[in-house]
Amino acid sequence: MDAIAAGILGATVGAVIARQLLRRGPPIWVVFLVGAFLMVASGVLPISAASAAVGSNLSILIFLFALFLFAAGLEQAGALDHLALWVLGTARRPADVPFVLFVAIGILSAFVLNDALVLVGVPLLFALARRMRVSAEPLLLTLAFSVTVGSVATPFGNPQNLLVSLGSGLSSPLATFLRYLLLPTLVNLLVGGLYLRRVYGRRIAQESGSTEGPPVARPRLFPSTPILPLARRYPTLVVFPVTILALITVDVVAAVTGGPAAPLYLIALGGAIVTLVASPGRSELFGRVDWSILVLFGALFVVVAGASNGGVLSAIEGILPVPGPAHPVTALGAILLTSLGGSQLVSNVPWVALQIPILRSVGYGAGTPLVWVALAGGSTLAGNLTLLGAASNLIVVQQAERAGVRIGLRSFVRVGLPLTAITLALLFVFLLVGL
């Protein structure tokens, strides 16, 4: 094992852990960018190998760019705000708000990247809290928990799922995710919603001073504005659902017929290009893309390639061996447990990026889908254990602090620990049945 590679990886991971514990320091994307630079500058990874690491994962970066662009377009059109108000209007009483929010936002997060969704959701829930005259904290925590649980179901619900779907070699990733993860996600959303209603429902009802009646007036789901002028102004309203439908159709048809599937990232890119070309406010739309996360992923690929080239990943595999394909039940439990712990150390995206080459070296590939969906589902649900487990949690916390609301680690874990235990246990049972 190359000591320099191990030192750079250790320093990078240590800096991420320190930043998340102390809640100060450079952004995570800067930490990984420095780590990538050091891997190349120290000679651990040649420049050609670093370029190859980014190039071989270019499809992931393209997919992420398309998803961020769609989210920015929906935000620009006010579609997410409108949909959220419509959903909240379905609550029969204030005590039902946590359940309604959890289920509805969770379903939406399966199709809109969760990191982008929380950026839109935080200001919306602050406005709702002011309207209902209640504390914003339970609403914000419900948002954080729900985008984590709901985003498990599809490859484009969160960045780590996207890493798994494209890095595992699965021939029909969307169909595979839906087959193994859709049902447990729906059950987890219902069970989790009921749990959060029990935790927060009475508090919200007491603070609002009302026990009956919807918390907000429900607007019409489809506004009276003529659709053609609205679509011309905000093409995302049409292009996004058409793109999602195309992604689902192409992938599922390929899975059923056994034929080749068109690359999903190219379909997403096509939709993004149409959106950019057709949008009058394309410059504003382009500026709303979260470029820092794209830089984070590019740097992450270089750091992981350096760790692999320096023999660090092989050493980790020797210390914490993952059972091979001949032991599916043991491997399933091991992956879920290690994902739970590892995600708290470095957050779930870096953890998954480190695990993919290790699993492939053990013998897992396109023919072993259960292990990959376990990695995706386990690392994602691990984000609800602590604030450190998912980038979306940190986005919620940072935006809340800017508005004067401090969400502490204790209050997060107090609710998140039981929720994580419940959802992971249900996922384990469903995946065992899937064997």
Q: For 338-347, what is each residue's pLDDT tens digit?
A: 889 888 776 7
Range of the domain at 269: 3-434
**169-197 tens-digit pLDDT:** 888 888 899 999 999 999 999 999 999 99
161: number of Cβ within 10 Å: 31
DSSP string computed for 63-105? HHHHHHHHHHHHHHHTHHHHHHHHHHTT-SSGGGHHHHHHHHH
CA distances to 99, 187, 195 from 190, in Å: 8, 5, 9
Angle at 306 (CA atoms; ends 300, 311), nearest 5 degrees: 130
Radius of gyration of the chain measured on its C-alpha atoms: 21
Closest listed residue to residue 131, CA positions, set 183, 188, 89:
89
Closest listed residue to residue 263, CA positions, set 110, 53, 60:
60
* Number of compact structural domains in the chain: 1
Q: Are 359 and 31 in contact (CB under 8 A)?
A: no
The list of the chain residues with pLDDT below 50 reads none
Q: No. of H helices and E strands in the chain? A: 21, 0
226: number of Cβ within 10 Å: 8
Alpha helices in 151-221 (DSSP H): 159-167, 173-208
Q: What is the pLDDT of residue 318?
A: 64
Q: Are 47 and 74 in contact (CB under 8 A)?
A: no
Q: What is the pLDDT of residue 346?
A: 66
CA 203 to chain centre: 29
| The token pair that represents 335 in the structure block | 């992956």
CA 109 to chain centre: 8
Q: What is the pLDDT of residue 167?
A: 84
Q: What is the pLDDT of residue 217?
A: 67
Q: What is the pLDDT of residue 313?
A: 65
